[in-house]
Amino acid sequence: MSSKKQPIGYLPDERPPIVELLLFALQQIVVMFPATVLVALITGFHVSTTIFASGLATLCFILITGKKIPLYYGSSFSYIAAIASIMAAEQFSGYSLNEKISVAQFGIVMSGFVSIAAGLIIQRTGRKTIDKILPATVTGSIAMIIGLSLATNAMGNAASTGFIADVLKTPANFSSSIVSAVESGQYANYSWIIAIVTLISTIAYSVYLKGKLSQLPILFGLLTGYVTALVIGLITGVHFINFNSIESNSIISLPIFTLPKPSWAAVAAIMPIAIATIPESTAHVYQLDIYVNDLAKKKAATKKYNIADKLGLNLIGDGIGDIVSGAIGGPAGTNYGENISTMAISKVFSIPVLMAAAIITMIISCFTPLINVVYSIPNAVIGGLSIYLFGVIAAQGITIMMDRKVDMFSSKNLAVIAIILIIGLGGTYGFSGNGMIPMFGTEFPALATAAVAGIVLNLLLSIGDKDEAPTE
């Protein structure tokens, strides 16, 4: 008579041994870094401050939610266009960089109150209200377009298009071997090799590794891609890894903290974007509830993890995260789908792991060598990981609808899903490709517009429906 093996994984209130905990924390940092740093680079915010704010906001979120919700807070792509518009606004053209950041900070802090207000409403009225406003048709579709809207970033990193464009624009800033490789097309070819090796190895690790090793596929995939980049550099002389992104004589370099400066223009531009992150954050909570309780069931745990019932608390924590990040000079953010994907793949939902990741992230932001190690990860490696992770985010949207048994033959459900997908993806990739939809003499962020359109349509089509308990 054979005994069943105990399923591998850690539930939210379980703490791995210290070595495993640090490795799992490092894995969470690896998947959070690309998007968080990219938001800082695009918006013009200080990278080290953005990284520090991410860790601090995560700690605050975890503590405020009573260590019950395993989520990591990072900079959100939904806010990029709004923040960038403030940073480039003509009325602030005479401001210094820090003064522009201070103006944007005020809008970011105020956006946090939108999430807090939504959380308080849900806590007062119960989950039934949010199930009416944000059913699985909406949250699942939003999760799908979040993952799919990041496809360009993933493929662009895989091909190193951003780096190649910089080389072609300012060839004098780069070595002759790099310039020659870019001009001949070899750099792009090598980038694809690195990205493909990273992608295939990460998938192979996640599918075929067993036992404890099966919980570290992202980290192993990154290391495999990193070694591949090193080998290609040694063989060809075209180096993808640089440890001197930040030149400084000092090992310790504290982040640059700035204070918010009141501005109604920033409030008008940034605060409404919080509407888009509410369904996004809701989708994340439902995803976690499904995966955590599936692991609990497999481990025969007697405890029920009612994460979905803590949606109001999650939104309050999310809003506090925005306020904390915005107060010290970081961009607005939300709970990261990339980290949820990593937890779903590795089966590690441990709160202590996320707290360790947050603390390590804050430490990294203060040490120049550590920041340079992170910056040394080639774009192609990040791209290979992102293709997988962003795809998993989109797939989790399907999981939400399957778990909630959404009727795909219902004309109402099809209508809601259809407009969210097309507005969200069409707005992201159409027009100028900046994620904004030009309408009525102004521009609307694609994700927020898709979310609002789906919510409104669902409410209109639900008029006259009899109250029913949500399908679990």
What range does the domain containing 164 cover? 18-461
pLDDT-derived band at 470, boundaries 50, 70, 90? very low
Q: Confirm whether 8 is domain-assigned.
A: no
pLDDT in tens, 211-253: 767 767 888 888 999 999 999 999 988 888 877 766 666 788 8
pLDDT-derived band at 304, boundaries 50, 70, 90? confident
Q: Determine the Cα–Cα distance for residues 112 and 105; give it in Å rounded to an integer.
A: 11
The gap from C-alpha 383 to its chain's centroid, in whole angstroms, comes to 14
Q: Is 445 helix (H, G, I), strand (E, B) or coil?
A: strand
Q: Confirm whether 4 is domain-assigned.
A: no
Domain count within the chain? 1
Mean pLDDT of the chain: 85
Q: Determine the Cα–Cα distance for residues 133 and 217; give it in Å rounded to an integer.
A: 37
Q: Confirm whether 91 is domain-assigned.
A: yes
Tell me what pLDDT residue 352 has: 96
Q: Which residues contact 213 (CB under 8 A, 6 or more apart)?
A: 205, 220
Residue that the structure tokens 């939108």 belong to: 114
For residues 402 and 468, which has the higher predicted lDDT (pLDDT)?
Answer: 402
* Minimum mean pLDDT range among 233-242, 275-284, 328-337, 444-453: 275-284
Tell me what pLDDT residue 5 has: 63
pLDDT in tens, 353-390: 999 999 999 998 888 887 777 778 888 998 898 888 88
pLDDT-derived band at 429, boundaries 50, 70, 90? confident
**For residues 55-76, average pLDDT:** 92
Tell me what pLDDT residue 103 has: 93
Per DSSP, the residues of 261-291 read ---HHHHHHHGGGHHHHHHHHHHHHHHHHHH
Tell me what pLDDT residue 196 has: 96
Q: Check residue 13 and report its DSSP letter.
A: T
For residues 275 and 350, which has the higher predicted lDDT (pLDDT)?
Answer: 350
Q: Is 442 exposed, middle or buried (0-12, 13-18, 19+ CB in 10 A)?
A: exposed
Tell me what pLDDT residue 120 has: 92
Q: Determine the Cα–Cα distance for residues 328 and 9; give it in Å rounded to an integer.
A: 35
Q: Determine the Cα–Cα distance for residues 334 and 448; give it in Å rounded to an integer.
A: 14
Q: Confirm whether 239 is domain-assigned.
A: yes
pLDDT in tens, 5-20: 667 889 999 999 999 9
pLDDT-derived band at 308, boundaries 50, 70, 90? confident
Q: Confirm whether 339 is domain-assigned.
A: yes
pLDDT-derived band at 471, boundaries 50, 70, 90? very low
425 pLDDT more than 50: yes
Reading the block at residue 282, the tokens are 């809701």
Q: Is 438 helix (H, G, I), strand (E, B) or coil?
A: strand
Reading the block at residue 363, the tokens are 């430490």
Tell me what pLDDT residue 469 has: 47
* Minimum mean pLDDT range among 244-248, 328-332, 449-453: 244-248
Cα distances (angstroms) measured from residue 50 to each of 25, 76, 351: 18, 11, 22
Q: Determine the Cα–Cα distance for residues 39 and 78; give it in Å rounded to an integer.
A: 10
**For residues 67-95, average pLDDT:** 81
Q: Confirm whether 96 is domain-assigned.
A: yes
Q: Confirm whether 471 is domain-assigned.
A: no
472 pLDDT more than 70: no
Q: Confirm whether 9 is domain-assigned.
A: no
pLDDT in tens, 107-162: 999 999 989 998 998 888 877 777 788 788 988 888 788 788 878 888 988 988 88
